[in-house]
Amino acid sequence: MGGGQLSAGVRIVLGLLNRARYHVRRTPGLAAVSLLIGIALWVLVTDAENPTRTDLVPLGIPITAANIGPQLAVANALPSLQIRISAPADRWDRLTTDNFHAFVDLNGLGPRDAQVPVRIEVVGLTQVRVLEVVPSTVPVTLEELVTKPVKVSSRIVGTLPRGYDLTTVLPDRATADVSGPKSLVALVSEVSATVNVTGLTTPLDQTVALTATAEGGGEIRGVAIRPATSKVSVAVRQNILGRVLPLEADVGGQPAPGYRISGVKVTPTSTRVEGPIDLLQGLDTLKLPRVDVSGQQADVRSTVRVTTPEGMAATITSATVEVTIVPILGSTLVSLAPEVIGLRSGLVARVSPGSVSVTLEGTLARLNALAPNTVRATIDASSMAPGTTDGRVVVVAPEGVTVREVQPASVSVTLTRP
């Protein structure tokens, strides 16, 4: 019924009621008729605004057992119910399993199998009627209620971080009492206290629920455990540490004669190493495989594997070793007779002293290869007049050889005419 039609209907009925009140005053016998008309109107309006819906409840309703006899227990799992109800539309949006209490009344039943009717009560809602219960009866197995003590065992789930080991996992009690149907209790071999150690690096005391388990580790439901929880103490130990160690190059062999190693560079210079504490504490560096430079006259660059002692691991797998090789520098002392150059025609030169000591520097290979007359000591007399004059000694050496010192740096030059 539309909102406009409903309002029009209400106005019509209200008009009829006003007329009815007028006639009731004049005719008292019409009062009962007016009351019936009012009730009918209320029902009409209420049902139009909030119509009744009949359907299956889209929830599985759990069944509980009530009035179980002393020393008895239900040995089988009771199924869930499907129910059909009738209720105003606004009730359907608020329905939960808590609004229905489904149970089987076991009053007077002994240890046996029985088919028991299901009863259901509506809780917390009005105007809700249960029309159908499926199933209407359920099988129930009653057995003798027994109790036995069983061992409490710890069960570990999860993974510790790398480098940590469990040292102890200790529940605060050795046994717990398991109660329930005789056939189920007989299947219980222990109760498990399950502790999750994922990411654990420090000791932990955790209270966990106890679970009844069979010989193969499967959970046994339908029994009660007293106490229901246990406090489990878990201790861990760090057995692997990580340290950053410098990488140490191992250079072997000798460069070619006349050459030497001037520097060694390792890239990267260090790496993080993880391993047992006792091994890691004995290391100050991580030594790389040997790089051989035997007979080399130029720089050597080599990529080597990063190896660690057994039981340890590095974060990198290789490193580069660069060995710089340079010629060995040396010096030698030679005695040279200064040669006068630029002498004017008609003059004769006499030099005193007649020789100078010259210190030469260069690579050993170059110095050893010097040929005679490749080093000259000269005095420029082009601007000298007859007589005695001090002249500076200039020493010229071949490429790759350096003149470090000349002693004496000047000599006496006497120019005369023959």
Q: Do 318 and 253 belong together in one domain?
A: yes
Per-residue pLDDT of the chain (418 residues; tens, 9 = 90+): 444 444 444 555 556 556 656 655 666 555 555 555 555 444 444 455 679 999 999 999 999 999 999 999 999 999 999 999 999 999 998 899 999 999 999 999 999 999 999 999 999 999 999 999 999 999 999 999 999 999 999 999 999 987 888 999 999 999 999 999 999 999 999 999 999 999 999 999 999 999 999 998 899 999 999 999 999 999 998 888 888 999 999 999 999 988 999 999 999 999 999 888 888 888 899 999 999 999 999 999 999 999 998 888 999 999 999 999 999 888 999 999 999 999 988 899 999 999 999 999 998 888 888 888 899 999 999 999 899 999 999 999 999 899 999 999 999 999 998 7
Q: Do 174 and 233 belong together in one domain?
A: yes
Contact between 247 and 286 under an 8 Å Cβ cutoff? The reply is yes
| Whole-angstrom distance, CA of residue 179 vs CA of residue 147 | 4
The type of residue at 346 is G
CA atoms within 13 A on the CB side of 337: 5
Q: Do 118 and 174 belong together in one domain?
A: no
Q: Do 130 and 169 belong together in one domain?
A: no
Query: Three-state DSSP class for 38?
Result: helix
Q: Do 156 and 177 belong together in one domain?
A: yes
Domain ends where: 31, 49, 67? 49
Instruction: Give the CA diameter of the chain.
Output: 183
Using a pLDDT cut of 70, give the percent of the chain over it: 88
Closest CA to 326 of 389, 260, 250, 379: 260
Could you tell me the CATH number of the domain that includes residue 108?
Answer: 2.170.120.30
Q: Do 40 and 9 belong together in one domain?
A: yes
Q: Do 305 and 230 belong together in one domain?
A: no
Closest CA to 225 of 168, 142, 158, 153: 153
pLDDT at 281: 83
Q: Do 64 and 29 belong together in one domain?
A: no
- Across 268-355, the runs of DSSP E, i.e. the strands, are 270-276, 286-292, 300-305, 313-314, 318-327, 329-336, 339-341, 348-352
Q: Do 318 and 371 belong together in one domain?
A: no
Q: Do 153 and 164 belong together in one domain?
A: yes
Q: Do 212 and 231 belong together in one domain?
A: yes
Q: Do 162 and 186 belong together in one domain?
A: yes
Query: Three-state DSSP class for 92?
Result: helix
Domain ends where: 143, 174, 192? 143
Beta-carbon count within 10 A of 232 CB? 22
What total number of domains does the chain contain? Answer: 5
Could you tell me the CATH number of the domain that includes residue 253?
Answer: 2.170.120.40
Structural domain range at position 10: 3-49
Domain ends where: 238, 272, 295? 238
pLDDT at 3: 45
Contact between 173 and 207 under an 8 Å Cβ cutoff? The reply is no
